[in-house]
Amino acid sequence: MSHEPAHRGRVVALASGSGSNVQALLDADPPLPVAAAITDRPEAGVRDRMAAAGIPSEVVPRAAHADRAAWEAALARAVAAYAPDVVVLAGFMRILSGAFVARWPMLNVHPSLLPAFPGAHAVADALAHGVKLSGATVHFAAEEVDAGPIVAQQAVAVDPEDTVASLHARIQRVEHALLPQAVAWQLGGRLRVDGRLVHVLADPADPGDPGEAPPDPV
């Protein structure tokens, strides 16, 4: 008897750091079909994670190219070689052009409740602002940084004693659940974008699933 995969399609992940969110895709139940991870940093820990999983990884360093356009063209070629159905920005710390993000369905994970605190210092900015709630957001990538339509969010309470490291660690635990769910929805054809509103459609394989199930706050 043949076994049909639970998730059809191919995922290419872009990551600049340790790749914990890419690992979350691999650790999902069932695992997401990650075809490759591509990084801009030769020393990025995501490469070790991919090697351990037997999955290809590639490096497309910015310094090896004359300008941003040449680097982005090389990155696009590397991604396209794996024919992805969805590209996941999993801690990728480079700004991408509108033309690049429009080429594939692209999901980004961000450590704040967007539109609050976009950018590279979201956790520190939230603490500096004195918020009582922060959280994680998965959204479709757009030309403007951290501004695309929101797929899913989950709140994380901020403790008075929190540091950037302690708050970020709790937010990452939420990201590790939220991102695989959003990727599975996209691969399953369950996300419909209507302007800025993203609808999560019911699972056609599960008559009891009404869709639009928000996560519980942490």
> Starting from the edge strand earliest in sequence, which strands make up the sheet with 34-39, in order?
57-59, 34-39, 11-14, 86-89, 106-110, 133-140, 150-157, 197-200, 191-194
Give the tokens for residue 180. Answer: 């695989």
CB atoms within 10 A of CB 156: 24
Catalytic (active-site) positions: 110
CA 35 – CA 102 distance, rounded (Å):
20
The three state secondary structure string of 162-203 is CCHHHHHHHHHHHHHHHHHHHHHHHHCCCEEEECCEEEECCC
Instruction: Give the span between the Cα atoms of 67 and 10, in whole angstroms.
Output: 29
